[in-house]
Amino acid sequence: MAKSEGLMTEGFMAAALAEARQAADRDEVPVGAVLVIDGAIVARSGNRTRTDNDITAHAEIAVIRQAAAMLGQERLAGADLYVTLEPCTMCAAAISFARIRRLYYGAEDPKGGAVESGVRFFAQPTCHHAPEVYSGLAETEAASVLTGFFRSRRAPR
């Protein structure tokens, strides 16, 4: 990545981390995502599964829905998705179906991830579009938002 591109990438991941923190404030598992087209954020969300009583309302799905609705199109070719945690199988499939160009994520998720962990969705012959993947962005911060959240939930209130 060029240096200026690296700085923009940092800013987008910081925006995704802000969404993750807001999700924690709603007592959601703190994962955040932003969707970027032509260098601008067009959608942003944290996890909303509890808020919406919708098990599919992961941050990645939420930003894909927002952007597709706004643009009035089902696919988002040329869009880049930034998410604080390695996407799960459901989200990896949605990212593929939406034709997302690049996927940037923070912390790896050995228990639930599907990019470099688990089923490695994008590497399967049944996957017909794979984004370029950049992992480990702001990894320490992305992971600490999650561990902080689960630690606080285990602590007696």
Nearer of residues 43 and 88 to Zn ion, judged by Cβ: 88
- For Zn ion, the binding residue among 16, 57, 88, 95 (CB under 5 A) is 88
Question: What's the closest the beta carbon of residue 6 comes to Zn ion, in angstroms?
Answer: 26
Contact pattern for Zn ion over residues 55 through 74, marking x by CB under 5 A = ---x----------------
Q: Give which of 78, 72, 143, 76 is closest to 107, Cα–Cα.
A: 143
Q: Alpha carbon of 11 to those of 18, 23, 38, 76, 96: distances in Å?
A: 11, 19, 14, 21, 24
Instruction: With H, G, I as helix, E, B as strand and everything else as coil, classify residue 34.
Output: strand
Nearer to Zn ion, 24 or 88 (CB): 88
Task: Find the binder of Zn ion among 24, 67, 91, 100 (CB under 5 A).
Answer: 91
Residues that bind Zn ion (CB under 5 A): 58, 88, 91
